[in-house]
A and B are shown apart, each in its own frame.
Chain A
């Protein structure tokens, strides 16, 4: 019965019915009856539902709250791409503040002057302190000399026989660092043992801190141009005649400026970010050092190495000393049949087969299997990431690989030497480095003397002399790749002690740390800004929730790094910058956001048009007819009423 009535309802009204209806309608309108609003309400509620019917659904989805306005249709909500809200405002303002005032770790210099100065000397001492401060900033390349740019603190301490007191200071010394006990100055000669001995007393005085350096000025015999002895730690010793005199203080100032600008204070200049960015270190501070011993032609004898021993004796001390800057993994291999395409020429003067330096770019052949086979990353780690965003995710970011190649030429091309094209001089080390790739060393071992010709012994072990040659070149090349001078640099006024097997002085590690911290914060800010932009530009990019959490974490770490740097806390600042960069980089390169959902517009049209077009036509038709009918009837009835009223009045 119901169905029949439905069918009847949907039937078109006949012309007769329509006429009848029209008559009745006119009668009613003319009778002054106001139009009914029932159908109008029905159709308006339908329209309202289509346009903004999402609020009910929205309540359910509250925990996945998105950034879009709340009044959107159900279908839009259910088909939109899921992504967490990123604190875009916060990211941008933080990035702006970093750009305006880059992160610089503070540098403090204490100058301990032996003896007691006269009263009028104190004025010039104060002047001298500010002189050092300003000239250092100038020397580093800062145009506007303000403390705000780079926190540099200078303090001059008078070191009497019994007590010590601060006589002058410039820049900002933090409160905790202002006073400290005096220590016994006993160094006399410039060598390693006295350097070590001095370290002990400085440590006792609590001055062996990252970023804090001590220049000790002794009253004693010395030339007019005093030479500073700079050790492998964070202190240096100068000898001066009457250090409190005006002239001595002036030359002291220039020594201190030299020390700060060219040695201790490096990595704080305006371009520290750039220097730090060039360090061959991955965002997760992982470096993989891949050592390869390449035997060009093993058919006439080949050499192998005892790499475990080499690592233990030579590599470990070096890698331990730069542990703070990078985490190094070491791997090794021995390769055979690695012939080079570079042509050599026998030169009688050199008694060697000569390789021109200009041919070196083509020395390493792509045939050599130098690539680290670290393709095997455990993929469950990645799954773990999807589930929980724990802190240890280093597997996502691949380490930077540095290659160290030791090349043994074939016997008919031994000895092989690298020769400078222009000067014709042979390289002393027989090695060359390739920026951000690694280094190559050519060694020319000879067969053992006692070996008889009949003995078809092909296999040889490298000898001790080769190991230290490899180690020496490795250290020099690594220093070069890290932007430090290959051997400790000496200037006119500074004599430096080499850092022996460790390869890196403490203050050099400080320099690298400062560069990295600056670069890390910059990179973190850039990455986060880039991620925010990508989010805005690619509306189809899907993003899991934990990426948002990671971004917030990175931002928090970056902010705390800036705070720690301001407080002079090296350790915390370095830790936070590194964490910030790693998290930001991981969020950006995470595989889960690399896949962009591709729903072209044609697809959407094809999916939605069949539904929306006919449905909307029905809705729109009903709406227009009802509205026009309502308006028409209202005007008619209003006219009737007006007429009636006027007639009544």
Chain B
């Protein structure tokens, strides 16, 4: 930016006066007041939820919504330009560090994401199949530019899967790509924050202390754009941009999470600073503290024991009871109902606009956390390699159900016939050649017929350097099963020298497996239509909590090591080939030029002999070349075919 010469613009009064005349033409009495429903909206919300092991879940949720128009007042221009330039309907990118620990933290309140970067996109069904790779390529480049990441590596078709039914919520072509190695850092956060109207200077985002963010046990940065394509003449699209940041941090710093004593915490103790007030342009600035149902139930139990029977006027308070206290008192307390069913979870709602220096603090009133354990069925998925070192190995995807509630309180006899369903998506890079015919299934360690379990499948065959193998299976297993595994054998392929990454000895990533449960999400989650109701401000996050969300469980990724070549090989090959050729030339020359005694005496016969020797040498060399070089071979075949000697049947 050249700012060397700055000139102030002094307009002549006459010119201004003249413009005044036209000003009257442009904006007469009517004031440009839009209908309220056309206003763009921005909402910021924060969910705080204590976890059983003393950790605290923090979930920042920012929602931008804009109607179809060309110029925006709140909606970030970068996101708008992205959706204008590229033809996609939905794109979701997440950067995650750490792994959601189901055993310690229970089911995630919001879908947990796999380590590294993940990009999921939905393109319109109208998009022709040949155009999909370039549309996806453009999207990966746009996102890697927008969020300073290396998502552009996902452009190559060998990196992505085109699942058919795992994501099938809405019609369209889904593309799913994973980068397990992606390092997540502040360089991703900074551009992400720039999408917020208040940045990180005001509002809830001002809480985001970098040290806390990147020392969290789990950190997931998530951006989701949903575009409803309007008519091109409108000059814009209706868009919903959701930005979330999920953190799992220790309740209080300096205390070991292993200590039995659960921690008391407050927002300022977790995030190093209290909020600086709401973002002025946000239509909602809410903080929710979700008290898990078990804790509420337990608190009720404690109070019932304590209170004298007959003291009827006492009412239970979800924020201040015998077990714990949340200070200050919330503006509102809600009972969470999920899919119309009331749960005992309590949500304490705080409005940041009313109380700008809000600092909710949670403290226990009893020693210990009263035996609070994660409850419910926890599902865990693991991917690992058997025998990874040799010429062949096995890939195992294991799904395990743990937790006290894994067997619902029903008569055992009935369970034998009940089945639970799950869909599994595993992408395997092309250089790990899986043999589908070796696929076996184990339920509780016992062989289980695959044909009986699989009720829907989609197997994408790998193509060398073009497409990965994709296993997309929908399975049904007995409801009593506590573990299930699928194994498939593979043979690692050889890569050429240039295909190896700089750290070839690290091994090659096998992306994590993804498991979904089609049974449990009959109802769709919150859709954009629900959020687009004009004029009223919607607490999007609350709505999301109240709807069942589709449950995604990812395994951790795994590494497979391939044969690593000696990278100085090309020069060795050069030297060897050259030496052989040089010897050949030398021998040839000698054969042609060399004189012997016999030559002079018995010229005719010796000459013929020598010629025969030379020809033989030449033929040998030719055979060697043809054996070594497939290109020459192909050329020769082509040549012979052209001449008419050889008839190759092409089919």
Using CB atoms and an 8 Å cutoff, list the residues of chain A in contact with chain B.
2-3, 5-6, 9-10, 13, 17, 20-21, 24-25, 28, 39, 42-43, 46, 298-299, 302, 304-309, 311, 313-314, 331-334, 336-337, 357, 360-361, 364, 369, 372-380, 383, 418, 420, 427-429, 431-437, 439, 458-459, 461, 463-465, 467-468, 471-473, 476-477, 480, 486-488, 498, 500-501, 606-608, 610-611, 613-615, 617-619, 622, 625-626
Taken together as a complex, chains A and B put the C-alpha atoms of A428 and B8 apart, in Å, by: 9
> Could you say which residues of chain B place their CB within 8 Å of the CB of A498?
14-15, 18
Please indicate the chain B residues that have their CB under 8 angstroms from the CB of A20 in the complex: 597
Are B613 and A39 touching (Cβ within 8 A)?
no
Contact of A2 with B612 in the complex, beta carbons under 8 Å: yes
Whether A375 contacts B8 by the Cβ 8 Å rule is: no
- B8 and A467 form a contact (CB under 8 A): no
Q: Does B587 contact A (CB under 8 A)?
A: yes
Query: Which chain B positions have C-beta within 8 A of A622?
Result: 589-590, 593
Q: Which 8 A-B pairs have the closest CB atoms?
A: A464-B27, A614-B582, A373-B78, A611-B578, A610-B578, A6-B613, A468-B23, A618-B586
Q: B85 is contacted by which of A28, A307, A376 (Cβ under 8 Å)? A: A376
A464 contact from B23, B69, B199, Cβ within 8 A: B23
| Residues on B with beta carbons closer than 8 Å to the beta carbon of A471 | 19
Collect the chain B residues with CB atoms within 8 Å of residue A357's CB. Answer: 6, 8
Cβ of B458 under 8 Å from chain A = no
Distance, CA A20 to CA B598, complexed state (A): 11
Chain A residue at smallest Cβ distance from B7: A433
Question: Are B11 and A428 in contact, with the CB atoms below 8 A?
Answer: yes
B197, CB-defined interface residue at 8 Å: yes
B6 contacts A361, CB within 8 Å? Answer: yes
Q: Are A333 and B589 in contact (CB under 8 A)?
A: no
Whether A429 and B10, one on each chain, are in contact in the complex, defined by CB atoms closer than 8 angstroms, is: yes
State which residues 141-163 of B face A: CB under 8 Å.
Answer: 141-142, 145-146
Q: Which of B1-43 contact A (CB under 8 A)?
A: 1-16, 18-20, 22-23, 25-27, 31-34
Contact B610 A9 (CB under 8 A): yes
Contacts of A606 in B (CB 8 A): 571, 574
A6–B620 Cα gap in the complex (Å)?
13
Q: List 14 A-B contacts (CB under 8 A).
A: A6-B617, A9-B594, A13-B596, A313-B26, A332-B72, A357-B8, A376-B81, A376-B138, A378-B85, A431-B8, A433-B7, A435-B7, A461-B32, A615-B585
Complex Cα distance, B137 from A413, in Å, reads 48
Residue of A nearest to B585 (CB): A615
CA distance A417 to B81 in the complex (A): 35
Q: How far is the CA of A373 from the CA of B579 in the complex (A)?
A: 57
Scan B565-582; emit 1 where CB is below 8 A from any A CB, else 0: 000000100110111011
- When distances are taken between beta carbons in the complex, the residues of chain B under 8 Å from A437 are 1-3
Bound Cα distance A337, B575 (Å): 65
Q: Are B582 and A611 in contact (CB under 8 A)?
A: yes
Residues of B within 8 A of A436 (CB): 2
Q: Flag whether B365 is at the interface (Cβ < 8 A).
A: no
B592 touches A (CB below 8 Å): yes
Quick check: B27 and A467 within 8 Å, CB to CB?
A: yes
**Complex CA–CA separation, A541 to B617 (angstroms):** 41
Find chain B residues with CB under 8 A from A2 CB: 609, 612-613, 615-616
Q: Is the CB of B585 within 8 A of A619?
A: yes
Interface residues on B, range: 35 or more
Please tell me if the beta carbons of A9 and B10 are within 8 angstroms of each other in the complex: no
Instruction: Using A39-B593, A461-B32 as known contacts, say yes or no to A433 and B70 having CB atoms under 8 A apart.
Output: no
Q: Which residue of B lies closest to A332 (CB)?
A: B71
Binary interface profile of B, 613-638, with partner A (CB < 8 Å = 1, else 0)?
11111000000000000000000000
User: In the complex, given contacts A360-B6, A427-B9, what are 8 additional A-B residue pairs having Cβ atoms less than 8 angstroms apart?
Assistant: A17-B597, A313-B27, A336-B281, A372-B77, A378-B86, A379-B141, A432-B7, A476-B15
User: B6 — nearest CB in chain A belongs to which residue?
Assistant: A360
B253 at the interface (CB under 8 A from A): no
Residue of A whose beta carbon sits closest to that of B22? A501
Which of B199, B579, B585, B612 is packed against the most chain A CB atoms within 10 Å? B585
Which residues of chain A come closer than 8 Å to B277, judged between CB atoms?
Answer: 299
Q: A398 to B5: give the CA distance in the assembly, Å.
A: 25
Give the total number of A-B pairs whose CB atoms are below 8 A apart: 254
A307 to B235, CA, bound (A): 13
User: Given the complex, which residues of B lie within 8 Å of A299, measured CB to CB?
Assistant: 202, 277, 280
Partner of A500, one of B18, B571, B577, B613: B18
Say yes or no: is B194 at the interface (Cβ < 8 Å to chain A).
yes
Alpha-carbon gap, A374 to B590, bound state (A): 68
Q: How far is the CA of A92 from the CA of B141 in the complex (A)?
A: 40
| B31 in contact with A461 (CB, 8 Å) | yes
How far in angstroms is the closest Cβ of chain B from A338? Answer: 10
Chain A residues with Cβ below 8 Å from B325 are none
Asked if B583 is at the interface (CB within 8 A of a chain A CB), the reply is yes
Which of chain A's residues have a CB closer than 8 A to the CB of B601? 24
- Contact in complex: B281, A298 (CB < 8 Å): yes
Is B3's CB under 8 angstroms from A361's CB?
yes
Select one of A334, A418, A435, A468 contacting B5, CB under 8 A: A435
Cβ distance B442 to chain A, nearest Cβ, rounded Å: 46
In the bound complex, how far is the Cα of B590 from the Cα of A617, in angstroms? 12
CB-CB under 8 A from B261, the residues of chain A are none
Tell me the nearest residue of chain A to B20, going by C-beta.
A468
Q: Which of B5, B590, B613 contacts A5 (CB 8 A)?
A: B613
Point out the residues of chain B lying under 8 angstroms from A10, CB to CB.
587, 590-591
Quick one: given A361-B6, A472-B16, A606-B574, are A306 and B32 in contact (CB under 8 Å)? yes
Q: A418-B8, A471-B19 are in contact. Are A615 and B26 (CB under 8 A)?
A: no
Query: Which of chain B's residues have a CB closer than 8 A to the CB of A613?
Result: 582
The distance from the CB of A546 to the nearest CB of chain B, in whole angstroms, is 20
Bound-state CA distance A298–B277 (Å) is 12
**Once the chains bind, are B2 and A435 in contact (CB under 8 Å)?**
yes
Q: Measured between alpha carbons, how far is A11 from B5 in the docked complex, in Å?
A: 86
Question: A313-B27, A336-B280, A468-B23 given as contacts; is B617 within 8 A of A439 (CB)?
Answer: no
A379 to B143, CA, bound (A): 13
Residues of A within 8 A of B1 (CB): 364, 434, 437
B529 interfacial contact with A, CB 8 Å: no
What's the Cα separation between A5 and B611 when bound, in Å? 10
In the bound complex, residues from chain B placing their C-beta under 8 Å from that of A311 are: 71
Closest to A6 in B: B613
**Bound CA span A5–B5, Å:** 89
A555–B63 alpha-carbon span in the complex (Å):
53
Assess the B8–A373 pair: CB atoms within 8 A.
Answer: no
B291, chain A: closest CB distance, angstroms: 31
Q: Shortest CB–CB separation between residue A373 and chain B, in angstroms?
A: 4
B82 within 8 A of A: yes
**B629 CB to closest chain A CB, in angstroms?**
14
Q: With the chains together, A420 CA to B614 CA distance in Å?
A: 96
Q: How far is the CA of A313 from the CA of B23 in the complex (A)?
A: 9
- Give CA–CA (A17, B9) in the complex, Å: 104
B571: nearest chain-A partner, CB-CB: A606
Q: Nearest-CB distance from A233 to chain B (Å)?
A: 17
Q: Are B198 and A615 in contact (CB under 8 A)?
A: no
Given that A2-B612, A3-B613, A439-B9 are known contacts, is A472 also in contact with B592, CB under 8 Å in the complex? no
